[in-house]
Amino acid sequence: MSFHGGLAGVAVAASVFIWRRELPWFLTADVLVTAATVGIGLGRVGNFINGELWGRVTEAPWGMVFPGAGPLPRHPSQLYEALLEGAMLFAILYLLHRRAAAPGVPFFSFLLLYGVFRFAVEFFREPDVHIGTLGHLLTMGQVLSLPMIILGLAGLIRIHAARSRP
């Protein structure tokens, strides 16, 4: 939940900054989310180095034993997130910028893809001890990623529809 709450706080602060400086909202947001992927990826590497936010128990040959997580090997889910939410998401957004995507496309793509990547990785990540899974089905990370997926998809559909009109 800390990422999702942090994202909401940064969105409010960035919106105020953009408004006060009279900057184009979507163009500025497009640049900000692209740059944010670098920090997200490095943050997940930091989680790995610190041995926190480890994955679920696994029999995969790349499973790792994390200090404080018991004797069984676990998914290095922090690295999965670093690759997907950091490197891969940066590469996709960078390509969108290079191809001169319409204003807002990188921003809404970030919301959609971060949400999808995080939702998927949560299947390999150990749920928060104090929350667990909700209804033995979804983790809090998955629940909080759903609005990002919906908003990202809705924004991309709206941009596409606006550009398709004669």
Residue 32: domain span? 2-164
pLDDT value of residue 134: 67
Measured in degrees and rounded to the nearest 5, phi and psi for residue 119 equal -55, -45
Quote the number of domains for the chain. 1
Q: What is the pLDDT of residues 25-70, one digit of tens each?
A: 999 999 999 999 999 999 999 999 998 888 999 999 999 999 888 9
Measure the CA angle with vertex 137, ends 139 and 82; round to 5°.
Answer: 35
Return the bridge partners of 74, or none.
57, 64
pLDDT in tens, 146-157: 999 999 999 999
Query: Which position has the higher pLDDT, 3 or 97?
Result: 97
Residue range 81-119, pLDDT digits in tens:
999 999 999 999 999 999 999 999 999 999 999 999 999
CB distance 114 to 84 below 8 Å:
no
Give me the amino acid identity at 43: G
Handedness of CA 39, 148, 113, 27 (dihedral sign): negative
| CA gap 158, 166 in Å, rounded | 15
The answer to whether the CB of 34 falls within 8 A of the CB of 93 is yes
Tokens at 160, concatenated:
């596409």
Instruction: Compute the Cα dihedral for 129, 48, 89, 11 and give only its sign.
Output: positive
